[in-house]
């Protein structure tokens, strides 16, 4: 997963395999800086194929920049499971816009 953050422009975006397949460019998500250390990211993907037909997944992630860690969870609408995970981040200088 790629997370793009431009604090000067207050722009954030995310890119993963599903987003890349659908739109080929990062999905712009609301810039929500909770503190000097944490940034909250929220987005949803609809019409994802599943065994029940089509479903929606709502994601929520927290970026801890000083520790360079991302924690993410997903809510699969209509299902009981709530996948989640966390891991280290690596900084890069890719421009978002």
Each residue's pLDDT, cut to its tens digit, for the chain (97 residues) gives 999 888 899 999 999 888 888 888 889 999 999 998 999 999 998 876 666 667 788 999 999 999 999 999 999 888 888 899 999 999 887 665 5
pLDDT of the residue at 35 = 92
One-character DSSP codes across 19-43: HHHHHSSPEEE--EE-SSSEEEEEE
Q: Which residues contact 28 (CB under 8 A, 6 or more apart)?
A: 11, 12, 13, 96
pLDDT of the residue at 97 = 55
């Amino acid at each position: 997963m790629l997370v793009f953050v431009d604090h000067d422009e207050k722009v954030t975006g995310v890119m993963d395999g599903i987003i890349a397949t659908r739109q080929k460019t990062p999905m712009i998500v609301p810039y929500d800086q909770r503190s000097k250390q944490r940034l909250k990211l929220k987005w949803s993907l609809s019409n994802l194929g599943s065994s029940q037909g089509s479903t929606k997944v709502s994601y929520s992630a927290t970026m801890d920049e000083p520790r360079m860690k991302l924690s993410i969870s997903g809510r699969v609408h209509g299902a009981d499971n709530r996948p989640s995970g966390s891991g280290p981040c690596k900084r890069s200088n890719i421009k978002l816009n």
